[in-house]
Amino acid sequence: MRVTERRVSDHADDSEQDHSGGGHGHDHHDHDHGNKHDHDHNHDNEHDHEEHDHDHGHGERDHNHDGHDHSHHAPDLETVSYAVLTVSSSRTLDDDPSGDIIESAVESAGDEVVRRELVGDSFDRVQSTVHRLAERADVDCVVTTGGTGVTPDDVTVEAVRGILQTELPGFGELFRDRSREAVGTAVIGTRATAGIDDGVPVFCLPGSENAARLGIEELILPEAAHLAGLASGED
């Protein structure tokens, strides 16, 4: 049975939003994507983080979720260890449906979530937390959910781009393409993005449940093992 350590950072306010048709935020993608979770009502101490921490070791991987024959540069990882970060000023990790969807999908695919955390709408906290997670020896891939909209307090994309050594523009392009049928022209307000930090793929998803499901199941899981293998530079 996996035990999850929890960590929630302090929040200056409860204002973060991700465009949603009736949810908790202002990610335009979220017009059709159910309830948002870009908020967390924990106003505790600055370093009072809620964490889920599965401490599992991992070694050399040769992983292929989608059956693709990836044959260049580096082997795919056998299993992928994920860190999941929820960016929200109103949610907690006990009330984080999008984070739960991501974790469930990862585990159903035979991989593992070794860390779950939640931070509020702070540029510095988002940036430092993502970078810290990427630097962990037991993390192969970081997935964030929330804060990718267009309101002033949606800071995830800017914060994460500041630490990426390489961007993966195809991720956001494909995410928006897959979302277009569901949300129509509102897709232009969706800023899902991805890149590499410290040899670790980082994927930033909107905060809605449908967005989390689309991103993790259709885009991230099929390619994470290959991208992580390439980005790590391990042969």
Domain of residue 83, CATH code: 3.40.980.10
Q: Examine residue 7 and state whether it is found in any structural domain, yes or no.
A: no
Torsion sign (Cα): 175, 70, 199, 52: positive
Write down the pLDDT at residue 23: 39
Q: Examine residue 10 and state whether it is found in any structural domain, yes or no.
A: no
Q: Examine residue 31 and state whether it is found in any structural domain, yes or no.
A: no
Write down the pLDDT at residue 230: 96
Write down the pLDDT at residue 99: 98
Is there a contact between 214 and 181 (Cβ–Cβ < 8 Å)? no
Residue-range definition of the domain harbouring residue 173 = 39-68+78-232
| Number of structural domains the chain divides into | 1
Q: Examine residue 152 and state whether it is found in any structural domain, yes or no.
A: yes
Q: Examine residue 121 and state whether it is found in any structural domain, yes or no.
A: yes
Smallest CA-to-CA distance from 24 within 203, 145, 142 is with 145
Write down the pLDDT at residue 229: 96
Write down the pLDDT at residue 233: 84
Write down the pLDDT at residue 51: 63
What's phi and psi for 135, nearest 5 deg? Answer: -80, -10
Write down the pLDDT at residue 211: 96
Determine whether 185 is exposed, middle or buried from the number of CB atoms within 10 Å of its CB (0-12, 13-18, 19+): exposed
Q: Examine residue 99 and state whether it is found in any structural domain, yes or no.
A: yes
What is the residue-level pLDDT of the chain in tens, covering all 235 positions? 454 555 776 543 433 334 333 334 445 444 444 343 443 434 344 444 556 565 444 433 333 444 444 445 568 999 999 999 999 999 999 999 999 999 999 999 999 999 999 999 999 999 999 999 999 999 999 999 999 999 999 999 999 999 999 999 999 999 999 999 889 999 999 999 999 999 999 999 999 999 999 999 999 999 999 999 999 986 5
Q: Examine residue 2 and state whether it is found in any structural domain, yes or no.
A: no
Between the alpha carbon of residue 5 and those of residues 52, 137, 152, the distances in Å are 3, 17, 31
Taking only the tens place, the pLDDT of each residue in 62-76 is 334 444 444 455 689
Q: Examine residue 18 and state whether it is found in any structural domain, yes or no.
A: no
